Amino acid sequence: MEPVTPTQPDMQTGDIRAPRLLPPLPLFLLQPILRRIVTRIAAQNPDMFNRLGPHRSANFIIDVKGLPFALHLRPDPDDLLFRAVPRHRKPVADAEIRGGFLDLLGLVDGESDGDALFFSRDLVITGNTEAVVCLRNALDDVDGSIAAEVADMFGPPGRAMLSAMRRASARRKN
């Protein structure tokens, strides 16, 4: 299992930068957390999957710039998958979405516009464009914020961390 390093976003670029002094974190420690997150989000937003149409079984790679691993998402309510994968051994996927941490956070927080990020070249899409468009529309039809739902899972520390990241994102935009 490939080790990863605890991270924090760069306020200028929105990318993740990894502190060098902290010990690496094995990927397997992340997997139950990611599984819990995707299960909870799916349970709270069951209608979201309708917008995926035939692409609910598609495999997406979400590549957060600067992270030492990538994320693999299959938004199939009957076979949900959200896991960390080694960057150099990414599985074959239908589509890949690449962007900075704060930009991707803005999308799941309902605060950023995916088209605008594409225009500015901060978001890169490859593979099955229709699958990505469906995923974008499914995520955007969630009332409130998926990021806030995730933060709530971790109680006051989670909410505090999200608030800090929102402030960082706002500073970056200004």
Q: Which residues bind another protein (CB under 8 A)?
A: 50-53, 55, 106-107, 110-116, 118-121, 124-126, 129-130, 132-138, 140-143, 173
At residue 17, the 3 state secondary structure works out as: strand
Q: How far is the CB of 111 from another protein (least distance, A)?
A: 6
Q: How far is the CB of 131 from another protein (least distance, A)?
A: 8
Q: How far is the CB of 107 from another protein (least distance, A)?
A: 8
Nearer residue to another protein within complex by CB, 67 or 132? 132
Torsion angles phi and psi, residue 138, rounded to 5: -65, -45
Rounded-to-integer distance, Cα 102 and Cα 86, Å: 21
> To 10 degrees, the CA torsion angle through 44, 54, 63, 142?
-30
Rounded-to-integer distance, Cα 56 and Cα 130, Å: 12
Nearer residue to another protein within complex by CB, 2 or 113? 113
Nearer residue to another protein within complex by CB, 1 or 141? 141
Nearer residue to another protein within complex by CB, 20 or 88? 88
Q: Going by C-beta distance under 8 Å and a sequence separation of 6 or more, which residues neighbour residue 80?
A: 35, 38, 39, 42, 74
Burial environment of residue 8 by CB neighbours within 10 A (0 to 12, 13 to 18, 19 or more): middle
Nearer residue to another protein within complex by CB, 31 or 145? 145
Q: How far is the CB of 98 from another protein (least distance, A)?
A: 9
Q: How far is the CB of 127 from another protein (least distance, A)?
A: 8
Cα 12 to chain centroid, rounded: 19
